[in-house]
Structure 1
Amino acid sequence: MKVSKTLQQVIAGEGYLDIQTDAALYRIYVMNHDVIRVRCTFEEQFGEEASYILATTAWADQLDGIVPDRRRITALAPDYTDHGTHVLLATERLNVVIHKAPFAIEIQDKEGRVLHADVKERSYVKDDHGRLYHYACMLDDDYFYGFGEKSGQLNKKKRRMRMHNVDTIGYDAELADPLYKHIPFYIKMNGGSQAATGIFYHNAYDSVFDMGCERSGYWTPYSYFCADGGELDYFFIYGPEIKHVVSRYTDLTGKTILPTRYSIGYMGSTMFYTELEHNSDQAILGFMDKCREEDIPCDGFFMSSGYTTGQDGKRYVFNWNYDRFPDPKQFIGDLMEKGAALVPNIKPGMLLTHPHYQEFAASGAYIKDETGDQPEKDRYWGGPASFVDFTNPKGRELWKKHLKASFIELGVTSIWNDNNEYEINNANAQCDFEGKGEAISALRPIMPNLMAQMAKEAIGEVEPNTRPYIVNRAGFAGIQRYAQTWAGDNNTSWKSLKFNIPTILGLGLSGVANQGCDIGGFFGPAPEPELFVRWVQNGIFQPRFSIHSCNTDNTVTEPWMYPSYTRYIRDAIQLRYTLVPYFYSLLYEASVEGSPVMRPLVYEFQQDDKVWEESFDFMLGRSLLVANVIEEGATTRKVYLPRGSEWIDWYSKKRYSGGQTIEVEVDLGSIPMFIRSGAIIPMTPQLKNIHQETVKKLHLLVEASEHGSFELYEDDGVTNNYKNGEYLKTTIQLQAGKQTKLSFTREGSHTSTVEQMVVDVVCKTIAPVQIQLDGRKLPMFLSQQEWGNAEAGWYYDMESKTARMKYEPLASDYEVIVQFEVKDLISI
């Protein structure tokens, strides 16, 4: 065993600081004043920089030409001084204290509060089996969030979690570990200081996080990270707010790709249709017709792998079953005419009986056995298979060739990457690694990221101005740069409905803003009616909204499966479509800032200790608190409303002060939602299809009791023209007061489709006396009917205490002023 115990030498390099200890070498980069990189190797020298993952670097990397849009920055010069017992490396915001004996790294803020401290005498360890350990001190009031896709409660303190991609069909959403994704990143928030920090381990080997499960009386309480190989290479990220940590982490690993707008819509799916003996295409087209008949919006269909079945019943990627789909191109066109994109399922494992197996083998496109001579073969769905090596240029090009021929040239620009966990049991199987060679154990979770990158590239090569829509089941840190994700093959149960919520929230805190789960449950019997209704009511707030199933009782989960309950399903999905402008703006925010769409309450209310362990209620963006009914048979729902804001019931407009728990009555149609004071929520009424309709009426819901702001984002939703400035970003600034002002400031060249603005201002105490639009008075109406018949004007709804105005949007920047002075009628 090797343990760094004594610092021996400090050498300043160009943009970094090298440290030699009695057991290991360390290299420290000051990325900026908030982000510190620490590399540790127990070898004689550092390995070459070769990362598929990092979106931002401060050094030359051998894979710079392969990683798209990588940004190179200049690291800050290491400003350090020797203080005898320790070396101090300072930034404007942090002090990095490097203790000499025993060796350990401690990071403080400028007030001297300890943000991170290694456990002295066992800070960095390599054991006799080659495993690497990093031990950190842990306090009783530390809270831990993130870790990618994990089961259970939001706070992961007292959890031991394994990082490893696994196909965990029917998993227990509270207890199962690991799941499909491997994201070695977490956020620590200390309850005493209320400061948040993050650590990202830039290491793709299988690993374990122990967040206080292990305890020894000989050591201070600790957490640790253990990796099976590689380097102890980590980035320390300072907040102090959680949102700052997430933003800076996504600076390193990439922001969420701006999706197509139609991906916000309901995406139909089931394995059932593609397993029919004949005419699966007609079943899917019939599904779209039934959606129209039931007045249920739908914008796409995830097509399960039954369409690839060969004569032997096995699934062969890139193979169309012509009994089920006689004319794929015609089918794809017919589906689009009905307003839905086709999203076909593809898998990277190729069975030994696959028609293209020898073509890939002859090109050397598979991951090979430990000799490097033959394709590695392992268990897969349907039998033994070999796996495409996406670290091999030949594998990438051959894969893209077949993607184009089988789908993209037929009109498909959406790809669903499934079963891509790369469960190869031989840890010594060899990957090409750009000609350098490397074991699969070092690269396993990176393969699904590269698979998503290839789908994006292939679509771009055939349709360069079409925005790709990629969906991935597995992934590593940075998967958000390429794909939307979902939490795999969940079990049909009330437990899954409940605990999939913190799974999604944890993913959002781990940089993956665009995600969801299979609504209604994937594996198990059909959901009973109440569970199905509650799941849909929750699912409409997930960025990926798809009802998808492989029911074990010969049934299919469809929106209308229980006719007497369909109205609840319809109402929920139509609410989702009402919120499309809000969702799209939040996804734009994710693409710029890295912000989650679904946010745990602690993300927005870090100073409120009542929300530090809240796992099930969440914020949709900044402005909307959602407290779904997730308990069977519930007739009431308790909701804690965070302090620091006032809260307004979405439906009744009843006002509540923050910092209290309320209890509301619920029935089967209830979706408890609360508007945050200062909220600005853009909506659109009666939208039924995102492909075929444009937003002509924009409805802004504004709570005007405190200042607020929102960036409304618009573009054409399908092309890459936004990269050339063809977008419209409208910054809406709310200045509260007796003269409440709404300022609309625009940026970009896109022409909005909005023809009418409707602005609802929720009033706290009194009605407005006057409303002005860009300096001119809007006419006031005393009745809703008169207002409804007018082109422009406003009226006051007494029941909801809401001032409703409408007008034709102006072509330039403008202001709306709502005057709340009390009009003295008696003195007149």
Structure 2
Amino acid sequence: MILKKLPYLFVAALLVSCSSKQYELIDDGIIVNIKQNSKTDVQKVRIQVLQNELIHISATPDSEFPKDSTLIIVPGIKTVPFTVETDNPDSIAVVTSKLKVLVSKANGGVNFKDKNGKTILKEKSRDFTPIEVEGTKGYSIRQIFDSPADESFHGLGQHQADEFNYKGKNEELFQYNTKVSVPFIVSNKNYGILWDSYSLSRFGESRPYEQLNKVFKLYDKKGKQGSLTGNYVSNEKDVANIERAEESIFFEDIKSIKKLPENFPLKKADVTYEGEIEAPENGTYKFTLYYAGYVKVYLNNELVVPERWRTAWNPNSYKFSLPLEAGKRVPLRIEWKPDGGKSYCGLRVLTPQPAEEKDNQVWWSEMNKKLDYYFVYGTTTDQIIKGYRTLTGKSQIMPKWAMGYWQSRERYKTQDEILGSLKEFRKRKIPIDNIVLDWNYWEEDSWGSHKFDKNRFPNPQGMVDSIHAMNGKMMISVWPKFYRTTDNFKEFDKKGWMYQQAVKDSVRDWVGPGYVGSFYDAYSGGARKLFWKQIYDNLYPLKIDAWWMDASEPNVLDCTDMEYRKALCGPTALGSSTEFFNTYALMNAEAIYDGQRSVEPNKRVFLLTRSGFAGLQRYSTATWSGDIATRWEDMKAQISAGLNFAVSGIPYWTMDIGGFCVEDRYVAGQQQYDKGGKENADYKEWRELNARWFQFGAFAPLYRAHGQFPFREPWNIAPESHPAYKSILYYTNLRYRLMPYIYTMAGMTYFDDYTIMRPLFMDFPKDKKVQNTSDQFMFGPAFMVSPVYKYGARNRSVYFPEGTNWFDFYTGKYIKGGQQVTVDAPYERIPLHIREGSIIPVGPEMQYTTEKKADKIVLYVYMGQDGKFSLYEDENENYNYEKGQFGKIDFTYNEASGKLAIGAQKGKFNGMLKNRKFIIVAVSKDKPQAFNYDAKGKEINYDGKQQIISLK
């Protein structure tokens, strides 16, 4: 039997006659009833058709579905017609023009097929485990999908283990400083999964990592069973060394580090954990290393983790896997040099994965009312991301100034410092748009007051006005954190909108003597409105341009265990923090976005937040990768982190260029240089690291430097004569000259659901070699960027995807696709290559993004394939583009004829140019052309009418 989607009342009348109670028709789909064998078996499966390629799957062991609620899906998605097929004895199918979704009558398993009947994705199993928290009942849920061997997974937000393709890997999804979890993946099998859960979740593996002694037999360095040997050697005089038995290596939070030796000075001590481990079964064991300070790991006498470093107060995780044999004792050695009075070290392990999960797609969440996920079909990654944004909201066009350079530091301590920095940029003619005021501009004991310390910032209005007078914008740090003595805290507290655990426990922060405070409950609609009102009353009148939402995980206290973290950030207005653990940043962003648009609806909002979740893009919010370290491996990790974040559907991402937390050796190098002007080895490396990081950063969606001392202003990195300074200046100028290209991409994120920073597989899906390429990417349709992330490297290996040929940006040299080539990478240059068929508009030299209109554009056309580009322009800082007030000029190159068509001007907006000049520069295999701002070419006077130009 085939039923079509019919008016709801008529459908209701058909239920008994057509369904035999096996299924029920609802307005946008069906509910299939499944016979339970136990109370935790699925009883109902719901298939909802949102679009022809968007399907919502829900399942529950209960007799009825709980009332629908979602924090991530936008309302008003228009449904489409569908049919229901019941002829198959084993399943019931919902059919759209793109998909057939079958539900097993026996167990409720779901199978997604394309219109030709080919399976795209199939559920393997699902489990519901009852859980009750704070009087609310729910389920821990595990969902397993079949996954073919050649499948790849990308997305999941931004993580720091430098993993790219998550096939066969695992990631725990929670929010923390440097870790942003977005439960969305894109598969190379033409689909995406958006997992609608807000609790602690896992992908790829449902089990948590275990301490070593829960898995292995441990032997100390003398062969005695039961523990490893810990050696603590101090570098201070009169401190006795310690050797002791270690039952596990788990010093990962402020509770467990109390098990380290009492009164032993850890800073710069040499700590070694050694002995042997014996595995209980054959197979691959997955390890996670948690570290602060310097650490190396040797397993089976091989260096499996080369030296890594992270600052003492902000540890990092690193994962590795090794095959082990049952009953075979394998040497283990961890060399750890703590880098602070408190420091963290841990090594945990997972046994070989059970057969039902191994190599499959696994999702697990701690607490849900029901199973909820969204299936997104698309033949390209761009189509899948478009589907994701249909579900979770359009990405706003950021204000044009946000596409320029931002200068930040931790921190400008006075009004004179921030103004002096911007003045120096203007004096040196280094382009800049945005300067940032980080935390602690308030009086020491007044965090959350939103009021300036008058001794250091005597005239806030004058400060903002001066920044504007220098054609700059100002972003300010506003935390969701309040000291209990502030009026703002008391106003929240009176309404019951403050998290109380930190106050009850008198948790003190790191400022001065330490002050007690907490975070507001962003899950309350009233609290969100109050948060904005307090900003509006105290900061908004100053005409500050943008908002920096720091610590939005929320990070009430660093380095706590997971259960205490939940206690510190709950209960929320919607329920327990166990259930609503990961979405605080989304709620906080909504507060500012809705607030600003309510008082000034036509001024573009800009938010930068340290955390994020699915849907963040609809609040005109970008994310940065948190307080990362200043190491080469950390720079490299940002490439894969940024690319996976981009594939997670949120197009605007940035990082602390240079890293935030600085090794002592770099600080000492700066201090020595300041005293005597000599560049020691460490400071030499520091300068090269920053040069390479700026080169990479210029091709991130947002271009921003930030960090602790040494300062990141270009002149504080190196003098004008130094190659580091020259390189930073070159790429900053290049960023501004490419503004017509970059701002067009900003428009494309809204109109075309485009992604700016693009893994190679997005544009070259047929080239299987790029599925795992994590250290190259496309910056828009034209530029292939290959960052240099090794100290002293003056070349690097670059893969040129097949299906196109390439041009060296600097020389115009022609390079065939489908090959690996070692290319030059001199100190001052990052390898950049342009694909055939690219059209790149290059604008005027500028000191800020709106200084000049692009009335003269050098238009580079890279011949060899057909090409197209649509130049986008609008009013830069308002929302009139939502009303159709924008302009486009289409450029189309035909390789066969060798002709470039400049289309007629489309659209209209205030300030749109009626006339401009194009200088057409053709680059071909036979006529290579180095990139040059002043290149000679065919000059075209354009008056808005179509023109055809022959380039051959």
- Is residue 2:773 matched to residue 1:614? yes
1:332 partner SS:
helix
Q: CA deviation at 1:376?
A: 10
Q: CA deviation at 1:819?
A: 5.4
Query: Which has the higher mean CA deviation after the structures are superposed, 421-430 or 503-512?
Result: 421-430
For 1:536, the aligned partner's letter is: F
2:441 partner SS:
helix
1:524 partner SS:
coil
Cα deviation 1:690-729 (Å, max 9, x = unaligned): 2443333222211132212112110121122222332112
Question: What is the CA–CA distance in structure 2 between the aligned matches of 1:463 and 1:32, rounded to whole Å?
Answer: 34
1:298 partner SS:
coil
Indicate how the Cα distance of structure 1 residues 147 and 376 shifts in structure 2: closer, same or farther if over 3 A, else same: farther
1:572 partner SS:
helix
Cα deviation 1:326-356 (Å, max 9, x = unaligned): 0101100001111211100011121223342
Question: What is the CA–CA distance in structure 2 between the aligned matches of 1:28 and 1:797, rounded to whole Å?
Answer: 56
- Is residue 2:278 matched to residue 1:141? no
Q: Gaps (5+ residues) in structure 1?
A: 1-6, 56-69, 169-178, 190-194, 275-279, 768-795, 821-828
Matches within 5 A, 1:33-72: 33-55=52-74, 70-72=75-77
Name the residue aligned to 2:653: 515
Question: What is the CA–CA distance in structure 2 between the aligned matches of 1:219 and 1:454, rounded to whole Å?
Answer: 40
Name the residue aligned to 1:97: 102
Question: What is the CA–CA distance in structure 2 between the aligned matches of 1:414 and 1:323, rounded to whole Å?
Answer: 24
For 2:920, the aligned partner's letter is: V
Aligned to 1:320, which of 452, 458, 461? Answer: 452
Indicate how the Cα distance of structure 1 residues 451 and 219 shifts in structure 2: closer, same or farther if over 3 A, else same: closer
Name the residue aligned to 1:657: 816
1:147 partner SS:
strand
Indicate how the Cα distance of structure 1 residues 380 and 586 shifts in structure 2: closer, same or farther if over 3 A, else same: farther
Query: Which has the higher mean CA deviation after the structures are superposed, 459-468 or 18-27?
Result: 459-468
Name the residue aligned to 1:467: 604
Asked if structure 2 preserves the Cα contact closer than 8 Å seen for 1:300 and 1:339, the reply is no
TM-score (norm: length of structure 2): 0.74
Question: What is the CA–CA distance in structure 1 between the aligned matches of 2:522 and 2:727, rounded to whole Å?
Answer: 44
TM-score (norm: length of structure 1): 0.84
Cα deviation 1:655-674 (Å, max 9, x = unaligned): 11111112222211122111
Aligned to 2:912, which of 728, 733, 752? Answer: 752
- Is residue 2:168 matched to residue 1:31? no
Cα deviation 1:469-499 (Å, max 9, x = unaligned): 2111111101111101111111111011111
Name the residue aligned to 1:401: 533
Query: Which has the higher mean CA deviation after the structures are superposed, 386-395 or 488-497?
Result: 386-395
Q: Gaps (5+ residues) in structure 2?
A: 1-19, 133-138, 207-285, 287-351, 557-563, 667-684
Question: What is the CA–CA distance in structure 1 between the aligned matches of 2:941 and 2:505, rounded to whole Å?
Answer: 64
Asked if structure 1 preserves the Cα contact closer than 8 Å seen for 2:837 and 2:863, the reply is yes
- Is residue 2:773 matched to residue 1:641? no
Cα deviation 1:340-385 (Å, max 9, x = unaligned): 1110001112122334221221133324679xxx999867665543
- Is residue 2:422 matched to residue 1:288? yes
- Is residue 2:639 matched to residue 1:501? yes
Name the residue aligned to 2:190: 196
Aligned to 2:384, which of 239, 245, 248? Answer: 245
Name the residue aligned to 1:163: 173
- Is residue 2:529 matched to residue 1:529? no
The alignment covers a number of residue pairs equal to: 737
Name the residue aligned to 1:300: 434
Aligned to 2:617, which of 473, 480, 493? Answer: 480
Question: What is the CA–CA distance in structure 2 between the aligned matches of 1:692 and 1:306, rounded to whole Å?
Answer: 32
Indicate how the Cα distance of structure 1 residues 498 and 95 shifts in structure 2: closer, same or farther if over 3 A, else same: same
Q: CA deviation at 1:241?
A: 1.6
For 1:559, the aligned partner's letter is: P
Cα deviation 1:53-80 (Å, max 9, x = unaligned): 212xxxxxxxxxxxxxx43312433422
Aligned to 1:441, which of 566, 572, 578? Answer: 578
Question: What is the CA–CA distance in structure 2 between the aligned matches of 1:613 and 1:333, rounded to whole Å?
Answer: 48
Question: What is the CA–CA distance in structure 2 between the aligned matches of 1:504 and 1:182, rounded to whole Å?
Answer: 12
Asked if structure 1 preserves the Cα contact closer than 8 Å seen for 2:394 and 2:618, the reply is yes
Question: What is the CA–CA distance in structure 1 between the aligned matches of 2:377 and 2:449, rounded to whole Å?
Answer: 44
Indicate how the Cα distance of structure 1 residues 803 and 658 shifts in structure 2: closer, same or farther if over 3 A, else same: farther
Name the residue aligned to 2:885: 726
Asked if structure 2 preserves the Cα contact closer than 8 Å seen for 1:732 and 1:742, the reply is yes
Name the residue aligned to 2:714: 559
For 2:385, the aligned partner's letter is: V
1:712 partner SS:
strand
Cα deviation 1:560-611 (Å, max 9, x = unaligned): 1211231111111111111111111111111123221110000100100111
Indicate how the Cα distance of structure 1 residues 819 and 184 shifts in structure 2: closer, same or farther if over 3 A, else same: closer
Matches within 5 A, 1:217-296: 217=355, 221-230=359-368, 231-274=370-413, 280-296=414-430
Q: CA deviation at 1:317?
A: 4.7
2:758 partner SS:
strand
Asked if structure 1 preserves the Cα contact closer than 8 Å seen for 2:177 and 2:610, the reply is no
Matches within 5 A, 1:787-806: 804-806=937-939
Aligned to 2:89, which of 58, 71, 84? Answer: 84
Indicate how the Cα distance of structure 1 residues 15 and 102 shifts in structure 2: closer, same or farther if over 3 A, else same: closer
Question: What is the CA–CA distance in structure 1 between the aligned matches of 2:175 and 2:733, rounded to whole Å?
Answer: 35
Name the residue aligned to 1:185: 184
Question: What is the CA–CA distance in structure 2 between the aligned matches of 1:318 and 1:184, rounded to whole Å?
Answer: 33
For 1:88, the aligned partner's letter is: A
Question: What is the CA–CA distance in structure 2 between the aligned matches of 1:82 and 1:559, rounded to whole Å?
Answer: 70
Asked if structure 2 preserves the Cα contact closer than 8 Å seen for 1:360 and 1:366, the reply is yes
Aligned to 1:12, which of 22, 25, 29? Answer: 25
Asked if structure 1 preserves the Cα contact closer than 8 Å seen for 2:199 and 2:366, the reply is yes
Question: What is the CA–CA distance in structure 2 between the aligned matches of 1:651 and 1:598, rounded to whole Å?
Answer: 21
1:79 partner SS:
strand
Q: CA deviation at 1:284?
A: 1.0
Aligned to 2:948, which of 795, 802, 816? Answer: 816
Indicate how the Cα distance of structure 1 residues 200 and 654 shifts in structure 2: closer, same or farther if over 3 A, else same: same
Indicate how the Cα distance of structure 1 residues 157 and 798 shifts in structure 2: closer, same or farther if over 3 A, else same: closer
Name the residue aligned to 1:546: 704
1:71 partner SS:
coil
Name the residue aligned to 2:213: none
Asked if structure 1 preserves the Cα contact closer than 8 Å seen for 2:45 and 2:108, the reply is no
Indicate how the Cα distance of structure 1 residues 36 and 252 shifts in structure 2: closer, same or farther if over 3 A, else same: same
2:788 partner SS:
coil
Indicate how the Cα distance of structure 1 residues 243 and 375 shifts in structure 2: closer, same or farther if over 3 A, else same: farther
Indicate how the Cα distance of structure 1 residues 270 and 423 shifts in structure 2: closer, same or farther if over 3 A, else same: closer
Indicate how the Cα distance of structure 1 residues 575 and 226 shifts in structure 2: closer, same or farther if over 3 A, else same: same
Asked if structure 1 preserves the Cα contact closer than 8 Å seen for 2:151 and 2:187, the reply is yes
Asked if structure 1 preserves the Cα contact closer than 8 Å seen for 2:727 and 2:829, the reply is no
RMSD of aligned alpha carbons: 2.7
Aligned to 1:412, which of 544, 548, 551? Answer: 544
Asked if structure 2 preserves the Cα contact closer than 8 Å seen for 1:449 and 1:478, the reply is yes
For 1:680, the aligned partner's letter is: I
Name the residue aligned to 2:478: 346
Question: What is the CA–CA distance in structure 2 between the aligned matches of 1:26 and 1:380, rounded to whole Å?
Answer: 48
For 2:102, the aligned partner's letter is: V
Asked if structure 1 preserves the Cα contact closer than 8 Å seen for 2:449 and 2:488, the reply is no
